[in-house]
Amino acid sequence: MLIYVESRAFPSKTFTLVCNPHETIARARAQMLHILFELGRAEHQFRFRFKGEYLRDGYTFEDYRILDNSVIKMVPMSKRKRGSYATVFGPEQHNQEEMEGSDVHVFNSRAHLLGQEELDDVQKALRKEVTIFERREKLLGNFKVLLWIHFLATVLAFTTIYWFSSFWTGILMLFGFLYSPNYTRLGGFVGRNGMNKNTFVLAFSVGAIMNVTASLLMGIYITFELLAYECDNEEETCLRQKEQMYWSIIFYLGQAFFLVCSVLICAILFHNFKTEVGDLIETYLVQIRDIDKVMKSAKTGSVKDRRSAAFELASLAATGDDTKFRIVQEGGVPALMNLCLSQDQATQEYAIEAISELLTVPVIQDQFVELGGVRTMCALLHSKEIRVVNEAVTALSYIVSDSEANRQVVIGENGLEDLCYVAERIQIPASRIVAAIFLELAFTAEIRVMLSQQSAPAMSLVQLCKLRDPETQRLALQTLELLAIENSDVIITHDSLLELLLSLPNLTDDEQLFLLAGKIILYYAENELACQKLVEAEDLKFCLLELAYSLDPLLQNVVAKIVLAMIESHENKDEIAELGLDEVLIHIRNESTDRDAWRMADHGLMILHNVKPVGKQTSGSSDKSNTSGGALITDLPTKKAL
């Protein structure tokens, strides 16, 4: 698949990478390193980002659900303040970078970021790969030259004693010209793809060895024939014959030599073809240094070393559970917690990424909580950097999802206040994680009671619903429903929530959201004061009609309950009758397959039919509606019989 890479450092360029969904991000970065090497920018302190999320080297494109023709961003490994560029590059370079923008990618020496050891390893691997590919390009060029020599040999074979040898030499030459791979270091294998490159070199080698054998045998045979040759009286003819024999020996031995050269080049190419872009670099990008050295840098290193260590720990943690446990055994959890509180933004980002990776293992979660990690994560929720907040939210989601005891710890560390704070400021897709955290907390009975007694959680959940992301809304509405079960008053006081629920049919076709919205609207209908707000809402009839049109019997049941609850809760039955909700009930009674929904709709129609004033009925739709209602009531026994 094709992946397009954009960067502000190259505003006029869009790079194209040819990748496989199962390949790691590190291999794609290796491709990018080759491109930058050709541009004279071989330093590799960059990362890939897709939809606001940094891509970790140990993961694959499939893990991140990156599809064909996707566009990813190439971003620097760390951000520096605008003024700091001058200290590294000098005034001229600093001015140039300022003209390009504050987020420009500065590809300075890797040693300034990740240390000289990593610089040497990756640069050596890059240069070694470049050497291999340059050798491949040169070998294929030499092979093409040999093919032209074989073409000349095919022609000259007609001047030898065994002129028919030109046929098998010509067949080998034509096979080489037709199927020989074309390669350039930048473009890779281009042109004809009729035969696999490894298959070609094997087939050509076999044919060349057969030709070498034939040439040597013919050359040796002619040599013995020449030694035994005796001239008669015809000296001129004898000399010509000897000259042709001498020429044939030289030709066949020379042809054998060039054929042997072709076989040797094929053997070297067969070994060379085994190396692909990234084979050598990938190892160093995924796992660069020993964990012991990384941990030492994380604990006692300089700002640069700590930043480097944080990045390497994030990369190492993504390689597997065994590496995660090694990091923990070396004291990685407290070290990363300290790095999370660093004043350096890049160090914070990498450290919180590493913690998020470690917390995917439940055993590590318990140790993290015991060391006070929840307090650290809650503090990071107040960060001004979106990526730091998103990673902190992800880490908290791992903690609350696997352990009820950890949920109590989050509440005990005043984490609820921090979650309410971030819920009103976070954006999609991290909003889904925040909504999921609230839902996980609400699953614990004690916490749910506490949430239902405070207005702040409900307000935060309403804010999440306003983001209009279906997944976020679903999780937030589920939590609101749980809170309403404990204390409906904490829900029905929010007028903005009612407005949002009534407008859902205009925004989405998701029936799961409709069902959740209907259940919450039911709480408004059952409360006398909230019911008045419901009656005064302009979109009430439209919303209930849209919900009733659903084929879901449970949703139709909820809609019928809403209408009956409004009739029972509202003192002015005439005002209810004038809303035209009888159309909703008529539709439910005609279309519903649920017996309870049918009975409630029928009961509601009977009440509305008796309450509705005759004087206010006019010709047109009202009379038609009443007539229809009367006709439907007449059909009641038939429906019940069914």
The tens digit of pLDDT for each residue in 114-150 reads 344 444 577 888 888 889 999 999 999 999 999 999 9
Distance, in Å, from the CA atom of 74 to the CA atom of 55, rounded to the nearest integer, reads: 10
**Could you give the 3-state DSSP secondary structure of residue 383?**
coil
**Its pTM surpasses 0.85:** no
pLDDT tens track for 404-416? 899 999 998 889 9
- Provide the pLDDT for residue 387: 86
Average confidence score pLDDT of the chain: 82
Higher pLDDT, 102 or 200: 200
Backbone angles phi and psi of 623, in degrees to 5? -60, -40
Distance, in Å, from the CA atom of 27 to the CA atom of 190, rounded to the nearest integer, reads: 20
pLDDT at residue 558 greater than cutoff 50: yes
- Provide the pLDDT for residue 314: 85
Distance, in Å, from the CA atom of 312 to the CA atom of 113, rounded to the nearest integer, reads: 11
pLDDT at residue 247 greater than cutoff 70: yes
**389 band by pLDDT with thresholds 50, 70 and 90:** very high
Query: What is the mean pLDDT of the segment spanning 516-543?
Result: 90
pLDDT tens track for 268-292? 999 988 888 888 888 777 654 567 7
Of 45-49, 210-214, 357-361, 539-543, the least confident:
45-49
pLDDT tens track for 626-637? 333 433 333 333
Residue of 522, 638, 525, 538 whose CA lies nearest to 589: 638
Of 27-31, 465-469, 600-604, 612-616, the least confident:
612-616
Q: Long-range contacts of range 38-42, CB-CB < 8 Å, 24 or more positions apart?
A: 38/186, 41/107, 42/123, 42/126
pLDDT at residue 474 greater than cutoff 90: yes
Contact between 355 and 372 under an 8 Å Cβ cutoff? The reply is no
Distance, in Å, from the CA atom of 203 to the CA atom of 211, rounded to the nearest integer, reads: 13
pLDDT at residue 623 greater than cutoff 50: no
Give residue 259's identity as a one-letter amino acid code: L
- Provide the pLDDT for residue 521: 93
Q: Which residues contact 454 (CB under 8 A, 6 or more apart)?
A: 416, 490
Q: How much of the chain is in helix, strand and coil states, percent to nearest 5?
A: 70, 5, 25
**336 band by pLDDT with thresholds 50, 70 and 90:** very high
- Provide the pLDDT for residue 395: 92
Query: What is the mean pLDDT of the segment spanning 511-519?
Result: 93
- Provide the pLDDT for residue 120: 59
- Provide the pLDDT for residue 165: 87
